[in-house]
Structure 1
Amino acid sequence: MAVLLYYPLVIPPVEIVHQALLYWDGISSVVPRDREVFQAAISAELLELQQRELYSPLVFDDRAGYSDDDSAYARLMRDWGASSVLVRELERMASRPQPPRPGSPPDSFIYWSKVNERLIRRLIQLGLAESQPQQSYRVAVAQEVQQTVIGTIVRRLALSPLDGGAAEQRAYFPCTDREDAHRLAHQPLGQARSLSWEVEIGRLLPLPGPGTSTGEVLAFRERYTDERVRLMRAVHRLLGDLRRDYEHPADVLAQLRRELTEAVEDFQAAAKGSRMVWINRSVTAAVALGAAAAGSLLVPDLGWVLGTVGGYALNVATRETRPVTNAAQRHDFSYLHRVRTQLA
């Protein structure tokens, strides 16, 4: 199962929910461990999707209930609560002449039960977080701190099996609607860095227009399963092949152009038959290339046209990115969905 893992907040925008329902096996987000806080933080729509097994909340311990002693997630949080690249980056932030402090009034928060307690206490020690006497379940932070912490953890979680159950069969793909969060989750920390492709795929993945209900999207999902799955598999194959054969991107597209074009055309026919209004939003896929690609040509912006698919130009760029240790063995894809940017 391929699931979008939304960050940095608990509740994703409706556009990302619809994207997940159309082109993925569901959506997920990291939620507070505390049950009462979770119930207050979650939306009724996500709870309904959870009943349909289309939304999966990730908690501090996804296997052992609400004990933090036994899960891979808990072990990961313990590791990252001590000496780690994340903590070193937070210490660097705190040492700036003007470190990022919580606003007044604060506009960004981190739940105590969403991450490791030691990490929260370290944020407070560094002056990057402030306790909330009236809301003891969370701390106030600057938006930069929130996005750095949650984005870094989510990207690492996407490459780590969480438990011994059904989640092992899921592949998580980080997704955000915030450009700053995407940048902070990928920017190199220290000397470690590698390259990634950035591919604009929004023209290949149309979305229902504003005002479309989630019920309508669910009905389309069920009626046109074959068309949806075929299109997403073709797009995933393109991204995977670009990662493996990063030195010959034009050849990769040439080999997959027919498959992609036919998948796009089939989906367009289904969309027309649905009588729904469809639009194209900007969706950028970041595909980590690994250390071997470090000497490859940097293409600084999305102005380079790799080729066309179904009459749409496919724009790509390369970026320096933060490597993740086990990314070579697993997928390392993530998505920036600009929900307010409509493509012509």
Structure 2
Amino acid sequence: MPVLLYYPLVKPPTEVLHQALLYWDGIATVVPRARRVYEFAVSPELRELRDRSLYTPLPFDRRSVEMLDHPDLGTAHSGSLASQALRQELFRLLGSPGSELTWPPDTFLYGSKLSHWLEEELLSLGLAERYDSEYWSLAVPRQVQQLIIGVLARELAAVHRVMDTGQPVSYVPYTDHPDAYAASLHAASERRLPAYQADLGGLLPVPAPGTPTAEVLAFRDRYPDERERLMRALHRLLGDLRRDYEHPADVLAQLRSEVERSVEDYRAAARSSRMAWVERSVTVTVALAAAAGSVVQPGLTWVLGAVGGYALNVATREIRPLSRARKEHDFSHLHRVRETLA
């Protein structure tokens, strides 16, 4: 299973952390590269999870700088397309509601998360001010913070990496900030691709607020087969939707029994635990592998049928992909706080 890459903050909310521990191989966040700032930004809980190989800090290192290098270096450079797209989006923000700096500021950027050209660009556009702090270097509007980290997270997710064990790892962008979610999907070239959007939250219950992380880890260790079967089934469903985009209803029909069995087994495990469970809405955007404009129409919605007692709705939309497209999958998740008792 891939690792959940949470953005735009270093420390994810507890409910997002618990979902990562239950349904993915762990969680990752983008962190400042300066050691002293890293120690301030990363919580003791995340450091403990890193010791268990369940948390991966992704620093804005040399590879990250190349992804968002100066846009005037030309398309031969690895990061020029992403940086050009980011620059375009920054210009679009100028004068828009929510793009003004407030004082005292409530949103900051760690200096060691930025390349030099990007810091200077933000200052010259008036989208940032230097901030005299032991840890932060720039005060920025919330929209700017979400745009920059959202784009960086999506670019990092598109890079193939290898774990310390030598095993390949892939990352799935995941956020609970709708503006950051939208920015990460739209900050790109003018080329547009169709995408499916599905809400899978009803199939992925999480522990109720206040549940200790230690109990979540104990459940993860006790029921590894049930949770892995559920995630394999759902990732196969999303992958098949991406490839067989012309027949979404057929995809669900072929995989319904597999998904329903895995959902039933997982819910039985959840009922046997002493934890209270809730449902969180999780919207997944699936960029289609290739599709003509006539295949899917933006705004068209399919109700693909009931899975595990829930209606699975898939709507189409358009996105502008960033400079790197994933061949095996291209998923992006939005976590919403709607909840009901499971």
**TM (normalized to structure 1)?**
0.90
Counterpart residue number, 1:88: 88
Identify the residue that residue 65 of structure 1 maps to in structure 2: none
Hey, what's the Cα distance between the residues in 1 that align with 2:96 and 2:314? 37
User: Runs of 5+ in structure 2 lacking a partner?
Assistant: 72-78
Tell me the residue number matched to 1:64.
none
Alignment of 1:1-344 (within 5 A): 1-61=1-61, 68=62, 72-78=63-69, 84-94=84-94, 96=95, 100-135=99-134, 137-162=136-161, 169-187=168-186, 189=188, 191-298=190-297, 300=299, 304-342=302-340
Contact 1:159–1:330 at 8 Å: present in 2 too? no
The answer as to whether partners of 1:3 and 1:28 remain within 8 angstroms in 2 is: yes
- What's the offset of the Cα at 1:7? 0.3
Q: 1:221 to 1:211 in 2, by over 3 A?
A: same
- Describe the superposition over 1:84-120 as per-residue Cα deviations: whole angstroms up to 9, x where unpaired: 21112213323x4778122222111111111322211
Once residues 156 and 166 of structure 1 are traced to their aligned partners in structure 2, the CA distance between those partners, rounded to angstroms, is 23
Aligned partner of residue 275 in structure 2, secondary structure = coil
Tell me the TM-score normalised to structure 2 length: 0.90
Q: Tell me the alpha carbon deviations over residues 285-319 of structure 1, each in whole angstroms, 9 at most, x when there is no partner.
A: 11111452433333527x64211112211111111
Stretch moving more, 234-243 or 190-199: 190-199
For 1:293 and 1:221, the matched residues in 2 are separated by: 42
Distance 2:218 2:42 in 1: 23
Paired positions, count: 333
Amino acid at match of 2:178: E
Structure 1 residue 138, shift from structure 2 partner: 2.3
Deviation at 1:22, TM superposition (A): 0.4
Displacement of 1:332 in angstroms is 1.1
For 1:205 and 1:212, how far apart are their aligned partners in 2?
16
Supply the distance in 1 between the matched residues of 2:66 and 2:198 (Cα, whole angstroms): 33
2:74 alignment partner in structure 1:
none
| CA–CA distance in structure 2, aligned partners of residues 278 and 226 of structure 1 | 19
Is the contact between residue 285 and residue 331 of structure 2 (CA under 8 Å) also seen in structure 1? yes
Give the superposed CA RMSD. 2.3
| Corresponding letter in the other structure for 1:312 | Y
After TM superposition, give the deviation of residue 136 of structure 1 in Å: 6.4
> Structure 1 unaligned runs (5+)?
62-67
Which moved further from structure 2: 114-123 or 259-268?
A: 114-123
Q: Matches of 2:208 and 2:135 in 1, distance apart? A: 39
Structure 2 CA distance, aligned partners of 1:200 and 1:128? 34
Instruction: Give the CA deviation at 1:163.
Output: 6.7
The percentage of counterpart residues that share the same residue type is 53
Distance change in 2, residues 1:5/1:293 (3 Å): farther
